[in-house]
Amino acid sequence: GNSVTQMEGPVTLSEEAFLTINCTYTATGYPSLFWYVQYPGEGLQLLLKATKADDKGSNKGFEATYRKETTSFHLEKGSVQVSDSAVYFCALSDQNTNAGKSTFGDGTTLTVKP
Amino acid sequence: DAGITQSPRHKVTETGTPVTLRCHQTENHRYMYWYRQDPGHGLRLIHYSYGVKDTDKGEVSDGYSVSRSKTEDFLLTLESATSSQTSVYFCAISRPGTSGSYEQFFGPGTRLTVL
């Protein structure tokens, strides 16, 4: 079956630091990969996605590259801000998934200090 | 934003009482889901639906039931609430994206406390 493993948190960084959150996956098909973000008191929202190998998803200064050879989709940002403090979830979905379900990682909590 | 609302947003109830949470969507998406989110457990799928009156169990379905009589509404019922069901509950829909995959969109959540 499908699974997603992401870096355990919490992660605490100073403002303007470089961020990496690791994510690796196992999938039986050809998945699309996603990063979702959850701000305090809110639901998850899609941050970025990549649908095939070597694609790079990007949004709000965050990037992640779909690496099929290492089955990874690490999230990066060059300079984090206090407003990036949130929980980040890596996820996958593939065309073989029943009822459009996604598989989520456990989430990584990021705190950015001024 | 996929037009997902949840009600109530907050609820406090007592052990043994039934509780129903409502999820409403405005875009006629076929697939809908209920998750619970607890510290240290990430998101766990409770039940999901693949159409009107078509539902199935997720990984943590014990003590919960669901109903979907209309495309736009997906109800989650705690038949007899227990303190272990204190959690934040999220409803979600999935929308087909490219390459046959699905993107999920989440409601704002319901914080349930069972005393």
Render pLDDT for A2-60 as a digit per residue (tens, 0 to 9): 899 998 889 999 999 999 999 999 998 788 999 999 999 899 999 999 999 999 999 99
Q: Residue B67: which H helix or E strand, with range?
A: strand B64-70
Q: Give the chain B residue nearest A42 (alpha carbons).
A: B108
Average pLDDT over residues A51-77: 96
| A43 contacts B106 by C-beta, under 8 angstroms | yes
Q: Give the chain A residue nearest B102 (alpha carbons).
A: A100
Separation between Cα atoms, residue A113 and residue B27, nearest integer Å: 39
Q: Which of A48-57, A60-69, A99-108 has the lowest mean pLDDT?
A: A99-108
Q: For residue B73, give the nearest of B23, B5, B28 by alpha carbon.
A: B23
Range A85-97 burial, b when 16+ CB lie within 10 A, else e: bbbbbbbbbbeeb
Residue A20, min C-alpha distance to chain B (Å): 19
Residue A9: what pLDDT?
85
Reading the block at residue A86, the tokens are 């949130």
For residue A101, name the pLDDT band (cuts at 50, 70, 90): confident
For residue A111, name the pLDDT band (cuts at 50, 70, 90): very high
A30 versus A76: the higher-pLDDT residue is: A76
Residues of chain B neighbouring A99 (CB-CB closer than 8 A): 31, 48-50, 56, 94
Say whether A100 and B107 touch across the interface (CB within 8 A). no
Say whether A93 and B90 touch across the interface (CB within 8 A). no
Reading the block at residue B51, the tokens are 């159409």
For residue B1, name the pLDDT band (cuts at 50, 70, 90): low
* Phi then psi dihedrals of residue B39, to 5 deg: -55, 130
Separation between Cα atoms, residue B70 and residue B84, nearest integer Å: 30
